[in-house]
Structure 1
Amino acid sequence: MTANPLLTALIPLVADLSRELPEAERYRRLLQALRQLLPCDAVALLKLEGDTLVPLAVEGLSIDTLGRRFKLSEQPRFQALLAQRGPTRFATDCDMPDPYDGLVDGHRGHLPVHDCLGCPLYVQEQPWGLLTLDALDPASFGKVDLDNLHAFASLAAATVMASERISALLQNAEDQQQLAEAYKQAAGQQRPRELIGQSAAYKQLLQEITLVGNSELNVLISGETGVGKELVAEALHAHSPRAGKPLISLNCAALPDNLVESELFGHVRGAFTGAHNERRGKFELADGGSLFLDEVGELPLAVQAKLLRVLQSGQLQRVGADQERRVNVRVLAASNRDLAEEVRVGRFRADLYHRLSVYPLKVPALRERGRDVLLLAGYFLEENRARLGLRSLRLTHAAQASLQSYQWPGNVRELEHLVSRAALKALAGHSVRPRILSIDSAHLDLPPAAMRIAQAPPATVAPPSHVPLREAVDAYQKQLISQALSRHHYQWAAAARELGIDRANLIRLAKRLGLEVRA
């Protein structure tokens, strides 16, 4: 009696449902069974995350496929597969681009896929992802029984659901509580935190985040206090293959030296006074995801040595334990110190520095970002408008000019706090709540303009010392106007606001100084 190929493929998978298997192994067996049922050159299991399909397991495709992210808006074939409840086979002359073209492993010449088949997976009646099958021979799937694939997809959905549930059940009660606290902290933010800007420095930062985010490299984020290093870490994690896993944060400067090791690596019961229960450290909480170590330069040298060992081997020991545990964590570290200088003077280990700074990423200071200060101010203004129950909260032109001319030693954090204070000061000046509340330069309480000019970097072109005073003043005014116009792409109104004068007066002054007045 001839064995039913569908049953031959499904029986091992049914047996696997009750087994405690690693996720990768469970998915590998799933794809092997699929290739046994429907011989082909390549198969893949992809999970739908938002508007992106993320490969979880592949067979027959180049290994780098697992690091790729397929946006549905760019992949009409995947859109077509998800639009149907059952299997779909594309015509061999279909003109839709295939995302796997050139990725089939073991074939020279980067051959395109010629026959392609797929089926969506539904978990609890919700689209979970896709199974895809591809072949270089255009006749591979000509006689395939699509009902068999549909039946297989149903069991595949049960497999992924079992995998996710078993992973959740493996956590003990305390682990669940700690994870819940971590996710609650992330979800409990009063507003979604995001990077904001349009300047060239900001765009360069975004390009670097995108470049290094989708990698496994450790990143050392540097920059002045208040520039938003934690936001950059969150963006790196969000752009990485680990985005579906937790991002755990630890401020190394906020912990006593005797607790740092426990916070990082965990402890067992009785390891020290007060250790009444076993506890996982930040590394174990971040397993599979990312760990953000803020102010990493504050770590004691003894802890630095143990951190280095985890980065080198992926193994750690809880405080008071003999057993080693393995973790898979990407480390994102930050410091406002010059760690290279800290290494030179012996306050930071050179080997740890090089492990952390595989990709150094500098966050620009706010004073280097031009008009981004106004975009950020608008974001904080809207926050305060809602908080204060106002219909409108705005900045006057003078206030905008003050913000742009200030040097911002405290960067974005200083701006956020300043806008909140200024909104309260402006509101306090009204006995009746106004329909539109304006913040003027006086509410900002910034240093006087003369002091800001004194604090500013020297002009790039200094007038010769022997010229008459009037000519020197004219040359300096001409330079300031030219620089302002260049920053604002020759928008005279914007340049006038920055310089704190009327637009018509600025144009008249520019003409007198011999500057070209563009329409």
Structure 2
Amino acid sequence: TGSRSRKEAVSFICVPVKMEGRVIGALSADRLFAASEALEEDMRLLTVLASLISKAVKNRQERHRMLEENRRLLDVLRERSRPEMFVGRSPGLRAVLTQLAQVAPTSATVLLLGESGTGKELAANTIHAGSPRAGHPFIKINCAALPEGLIESELFGHEKGAFTGAVGMRKGRFEAADGGTLFLDEIGELAVSTQVKLLRVLQEQEFERLGGMETHKVDVRVVAATSRNLEQMVKDGVFRRDLYYRLNVFPVSMPPLRERREDIPLLVENFLEKYGHKIGKRGLRVTPEAEALLLAHSWPGNIRELENVIERAVILTSDGLIRPDLLPPAMQAPCAFCSLRGTLPDALDQLERRLITEALRQHHGNMGHAARSLGISERVMGLRMRKFGLGYKAFRRGAP
């Protein structure tokens, strides 16, 4: 490399940096030559470091690829101020983005289905931004956040004296959204009496304010969302069948985070950048131990829960590293890295033994299949099994 003028008594070690079987670089190091020291352990260390470098490069490339694909799928979305974009590359998310791009330019009513925290509000904003109504208001209301006695007034407005405390006329959300889009979140929480009035607005685009006699016409596109099973609610008699069919013109199911785990590293990187920028922290990264915990978590709160976890960790970190101890206590379960002990060679041996044992268990003692799954030759597999005292018969199907 020409990096040194004297080459005596110096050993040169170099390993390839590979990504998906393709060499994308090399990692090399010099060390003082010592006849008593074998270079095998040094080479193993460099190989581990090269693997980490490859993973970081792949994550960065995937992030850029994901952004480019999002731009391609959402190039039909025209808006004055572009909404926050979805982050991810999973098949489920790509299917959702394609559906949103297809329905956005139309005037169809959209029903967003999915658990809390899966991005239904972002999807509604994306639909509005890509529609001809993008230059008009985007109004949202959470139907579960208001008591039954106030929801009608919020939706349709009221006249002066309509009820105690109504000291003046007030326009509702439908009038505020005239020409634009009204997002009704958690629509499954609406009372049956309100469902009747909502159905009329969807069908006739007209309504009366609470306490009023005058009929008002509006031009509003409705996007509804729910985390409940509306079809079952219809069977149970707590949600009107006719309203369900009127809302269910174009249903879009938002996948939960546990079904798109490959998106977690990209989402984490996005939140690290977002909250690191807010509080002036740069170069934030997640340790392998913490990443293993994030990938293993079931995420009942979905993306909202992940965002909160990362924001908390960004606030707590003092050196830019997100470690397991900065994650919520409920997530700090044992992982493959957390229990490794001793020196680096000891830890590498422990990890290597676990990987070989797990591969043999998965392939029921078949050395050839286990070796191929680990990307090593059968000869190397045999040497490693002899080193760790492992016998393939113990992993055969039906072995005691």
- TM-score w.r.t. structure 1 length? 0.50
Which residue of 1 is the match for residue 322 of structure 2? 439
Q: Over residues 53-95 of structure 1, what are the superposed CA-to-partner deviations in whole Å (9 max), with x where a residue is unaligned?
A: xxxxxxxxxxxxxxxx799xxxxxxxxxxxxxxxxxxxxxxxx
Q: What is the aligned partner in structure 2 of residue 99 from structure 1?
A: none
C-alpha separation between the residues in 1 aligned to 2:102 and 2:94?
Answer: 12
Q: Deviations over 1:159-187 (max 9, x none)?
A: xxxxxxxxxxxxxxxxxxxxxxxxxxx99
Q: How far does residue 475 in structure 1 lie from its aligned partner after superposition?
A: 5.4
Aligned partner letter, 1:244: G
Equivalence for 1:122: none
2:259 is equivalent to residue 368 of structure 1: yes
State the shift of 1:396 in Å: 1.4
1:397 aligns with 2:288: yes
Answer yes or no: is the 8 Å Cα contact 2:112–2:226 preserved in 1.
yes
Question: What residue identity is the alignment partner of 1:256?
Answer: P
2:274 matched to which residue of 1? 383
The 5 A counterparts of 1:79-478 are: 193-427=84-318, 434=319, 437-445=320-328, 446-449=331-334, 474=359, 476-477=361-362
**Partner residue, 1:132:** none
CA–CA separation in structure 2 for the residues paired with 1:317 and 1:196 = 41
1:210 & 1:260 partners in 2: Cα distance?
Answer: 31
Cα displacement string for residues 78-135 of structure 1 (whole angstroms, at most 9, x for unaligned residues): xxxxxxxxxxxxxxxxxxxxxxxxxxxxxxxxxxxxxxxxxxxxxxxxxxxxxxxxxx
2:386 aligned residue: none
- 8 Å Cα contact 2:325-2:332 kept in structure 1: no
Residue 443 to residue 303, structure 1, CA distance change in 2 (3 Å): same
The residue type paired with residue 252 of structure 1 is C
TM-score, normalised to structure 2, is 0.64
- Secondary structure in 1 matching 2:261: coil
Separation (CA, whole Å) in 2 of partners of 1:289 and 1:279: 19
Q: 1:388 to 1:476 in 2, by over 3 A?
A: farther
Q: Which runs of 5+ in 2 are unaligned?
A: 1-75, 337-355, 365-371, 383-400
Runs of 4+ in 1 over 6 A off after TM superposition: none
CA distance in 2, matches of 1:70, 1:474: 47
Secondary structure of residue in 2 paired with 1:204: helix
| Unmatched runs of 5 consecutive residues or more in structure 1 | 1-68, 72-185, 428-433, 452-470, 480-489, 493-505, 514-519
* C-alpha contact (below 8 Å) 2:83/2:126 kept by paired residues: no
1:255 partner SS: coil
- Mapped to 2, the partners of 1:197 and 1:238 lie a distance apart of 20
* Alignment partners' CA distance in 2, 1:442 and 1:512: 36
Determine the structure 1 residue equivalent to 2:342: none
Q: What is the deviation of 1:336?
A: 0.3
For the aligned residues, what is the CA RMSD?
Answer: 3.0
Q: Percent identity?
A: 44
| Correspondence for 1:159 | none
- Quote the residue 1:463 is aligned against: none
CA distance in 2, matches of 1:253, 1:306: 17
Q: Which amino acid aligns with 2:177?
A: A
